[in-house]
Amino acid sequence: MSPDERAWLTGIVEGEGTFVRAGRPGGQIRVVMTDQDVIQRLQIVTGLGLVHNRGRRSAQYKIAWEWAVTRRENVCTLAKELAPLLLRRRRESLQFIFDAAGRMLPPAEELPTRSPESWAWAAGLIEGEGWIGPGPRAVRKSSIVAVESTDHDVIERLAAATGFGHVTSVDQRASDWKPGWRWSVHSQADVYAVLSAILPLLGNRRAGRAHYALNWIAERAGFEPTRVLPLLLSGQAP
């Protein structure tokens, strides 16, 4: 994998992945999503694992697709690629894979702000956990890109890696829920910059929503994308 592919993969796994034993001492790495194209891309990018149709939980749900890496040597190889860019909770959850292989957990790596790897990681995480606005059916249209998580370090990395947005706490929906955190970008110029940077790496569904939001912002603000995008990504509003 290229550095960008590894960062994108790690972002997807950070948001949607699981590391499980399930009767296998060497563990398994799995991602389940309803976006078949994204799941298939995981297999293509890594050259590992199998894709399975997991069906619907009930009639009103979409079909779920799973990418699973179960062969011991492949799990260990993939874990070694993922571990440096994973954050605390995910790194701890794959420790057993390295223990089973008699290996050390690789040291953590940082992502420089607005580097190609940072945008790839952000695209992967937003693909799995984010939302983009406005949407075609929105009654009150406003620009937004946001992600919520109970992992504060994940949300903090989004702000640091992209150089955009704010981090805020989210009220617990129930007394037994973990505290939540939200990264959100609201200004039209900043949303335009973030979506433009991650668009090439988004799957079909998210890319469609991003295209709609970008066109809405451009029409509303009178942007000339090819002229203003370098300014937006350097932090200067048009």
Q: Give all strands of the β-sheet with 166-170 in edge-to-edge order.
A: 130-133, 144-149, 180-185, 166-170
- Phi, psi torsion values for 11, nearest 5 degrees: -60, -45
Q: Domains in the chain, ordered, with CATH?
A: 3-101 (3.10.28.10), 116-233 (3.10.28.10)
* Residue, of 221 and 158, whose pLDDT is higher: 158
Residue 225: the pLDDT is 56
How far apart are the C-alpha atoms of 227 and 93, rounded to whole Å? 45
Cα 23 → chain centroid: 28
Q: What is the pTM of this model?
A: 0.91
24 has a pLDDT exceeding 80 = no
Angle, CA 84 vertex, CA 93 and CA 128 arms, to 5°? 65
Token digits of residue 199? 């668009």
Q: Using one digit for the tens of pLDDT, what is the confidence trace for 135-155?
A: 888 888 999 999 999 999 999
Specify the pLDDT at position 51: 97
116 pLDDT higher than 90: yes
- pLDDT category of residue 221 using cuts at 50, 70 and 90: confident
Alpha-carbon radius of gyration of the chain: 18
Rounded to whole angstroms, the Cα distance separating 72 from 12 reads: 21
pLDDT in tens, 55-96: 887 878 899 999 999 999 999 999 999 999 999 999 999 999
Q: Which residue has the tokens 């960062």?
A: 7
Residue 23 pLDDT grade (very low, low, confident, very high; cuts 50, 70, 90): confident
* In contact, 169 and 180? CB cutoff 8 Å: yes
User: Tokens 């034993």 sit at which residue?
Assistant: 21
CA–CA dist 143, 194 (Å, integer) = 11
CA atoms of 151 and 76, how far apart (whole Å): 25
- What is the average pLDDT score of the chain? 90
Q: Are 146 and 191 in contact (CB under 8 A)?
A: no
- Please give the structure tokens belonging to residue 29: 């790495």
The burial of 67, by beta-carbon neighbours within 10 Å (0-12 exposed, 13-18 middle, 19 or more buried), is given as buried
3-state secondary structure 105-141: CCCCCCCCCCCHHHHHHHHHHHHHHEEEECCCCCCCC
| Interval 166-185: pLDDT, tens | 999 988 777 777 889 999 99
Residue 236 in this model has a pLDDT that exceeds 60:
no
For Cα atoms 37, 42, 44, give the angle at the middle one, nearest 5 degrees: 90
Element (H, E) at 69: strand 64-69
Residue 238 pLDDT exceeds 50: no
